Amino acid sequence: MPWQSLTLDVNAAEADALSDALLEQGAESVCVEDGDAGKETETPRYAEPLWEGSVAWRRNRLSVLLAQTMDPGTVVERAARAAGLAMPPTYTVGSVADDDWVRRTQSQFAPVSIGERLWIVPSWHQPPVPGAVLVRLDPGMAFGTGSHPTTRLALRFLAREIRGGERVLDYGCGSGILAIAAAKLGAARIDAVDLDPLALQATAENARTNEIVVNVCAPETLPAVEYDVVVANILSNPLILLAPLICERTRAGGRVALSGILEPQAAEVIAAYAPSVALSTADREDGWVLLGGGRQ
């Protein structure tokens, strides 16, 4: 059966909210591409204000799959309203067959190398390096396939820090990519938390695909335990609000890693954690930083 394909260009800061809204309006799938660089990217799941000169001014291209029976104008208008856009974006409409869409989508996702020992590999690819630590992950509705700098920063931290036997908390787990990577790298117990039920479902399914055990839960059911490593890839404002909880859940001497932070935001996040965790910039990529530090 042929499908309708919509192409929309929006500000990068609006892409994620609009993607979610399009899916809620019945879109079969939404692929987000970096409109400036022409490559696939992810947009973090929490919107933040724009400021001149920030990466938030970049353009993203959304490729949307709709059933033939759906009216594109109605879908885009309702999604734009739900996403808080001032007006619906312009779009073009095309038509693709099932197999063409699958090939087009799969071609955008190649294996991602994280350091020397970790790879994120879609199911339709063979392992690129024999004996490497593999996380099998296909693109889906939940944030996190390893293609965005914030995700890569957090993965590189885990690849450096996990030695085996740790208790790990992934707060704001999205697809579960960080939790699954921690398990594959040797962590003994992994708890994954998210506000979004779809993210919890995606994490549970991806954990089963990777044949590892992850305790998936909503924030209110998180076990009252302390962790050796706490990692959170969200954005600066939620991370600041979560500072008391994240610090409380990190054991004395344990490690905290925070991603989803633009370089100009780092000082404010560092200040929020300073009473308990001395954070500093541990890694950076494309204007994003990872803040890491030990619990005092």
Tokens matching residue 112: 């991602």
Highest averaged pLDDT of the listed ranges 38-42, 64-68, 141-145: 64-68
Instruction: Give the C-alpha distances (Å, rounded to integers) separating 283 from 225, 274, 292, 296.
Output: 28, 19, 8, 21
pTM passes above 0.75 = no
Using CA atoms, how far residue 12 sits from 4, 263, 284, in Å, is 23, 17, 19
Instruction: Judge whether 62 lies within some domain.
Output: yes
Beta carbons of 200 and 216 less than 8 angstroms apart: yes
Q: Which of 89, 107, 125 is the last residue of a domain?
A: 107
Q: Which stretches of 25-97 are DSSP H helices?
A: 72-82
- Judge if 155 and 251 occupy the same domain: yes
Q: What element of type H or E holds 13? A: helix 12-24
Tokens read off for 134: 């593999």
Q: What is the dihedral of CA 128, 144, 154, 45, to 10 degrees?
A: 160
| pLDDT score for 240 | 97
Do 26 and 74 reside in the same domain of the chain?
yes
In a shared domain, residues 43 and 172? no
pLDDT computed for residue 50 by the predictor: 31
Residue 120 within any structural domain of the chain: no
Domain annotation covers residue 116: no
- How many folded domains does the chain comprise? 2
Domain boundary among 107, 132, 154: 107
Query: CA-CA distance, 27 to 89, in Å (whole number)?
Result: 16
pLDDT of residue 146: 63
- Kindly state whether residues 64 and 182 are assigned to the same domain: no
Cβ-Cβ contacts under 8 Å for 52 (sequence gap 6 or more): none
- pLDDT 10s digits, 76-127: 999 999 888 989 999 999 887 655 444 455 555 678 889 878 988 887 777 7
What pLDDT sits at residue 109?
61
Whether residue 203 lies inside any domain: the answer is yes
Cβ atoms within 10 Å of 194's Cβ, excluding its own? 26
In a domain, 131, yes or no: no
* Same domain as 159, residue 89: no
134 in any annotated domain: no
Q: In this structure, what CATH number is given to the domain that contains residue 85? A: 3.30.70.120
The least confident of 60-64, 229-233, 288-292 is 60-64
The chain-wide mean pLDDT, for the chain, equals 84
The tens digit of pLDDT for each residue in 170-209 reads: 999 988 999 999 999 999 999 999 998 888 998 999 999 9
Residue-number span of the structural domain to which 246 is assigned? 145-294
Q: Computed over its alpha carbons, how large is the radius of gyration of the chain?
A: 19
The verdict on 183 and 260 lying in the same domain is: yes
Q: Is pLDDT larger for residue 270 or for residue 174? A: 270
User: Under DSSP, is residue 276 helix (H, G, I), strand (E, B) or coil?
Assistant: coil
**What pLDDT does 101 receive?**
47
**Domain-located, residue 114:** no
Whole-number Å distance between alpha carbons of 278 and 295: 7
Could you tell me the CATH number of the domain that includes residue 272? 3.40.50.150
Q: Cα separation of 107 and 1, whole Å?
A: 21
What is the rounded distance in angstroms from the CA atom of residue 259 to the CA atom of residue 283? 10
Q: Are residues 164 and 269 in the same domain?
A: yes
Q: Does 186 lie in the same domain as 71?
A: no
Same domain, 90 and 155: no
- The predicted pLDDT at position 48 comes to 34
| Listed residue (122, 150, 114) closest to 138, CA to CA | 122
Residues 147-173 have a mean pLDDT of 93
Of 83, 107, 131, at which residue does a domain stop? Answer: 107
Residues 203 and 259 in one domain: yes
Question: pLDDT digit string (tens) for 207-223?
Answer: 999 999 999 999 999 99
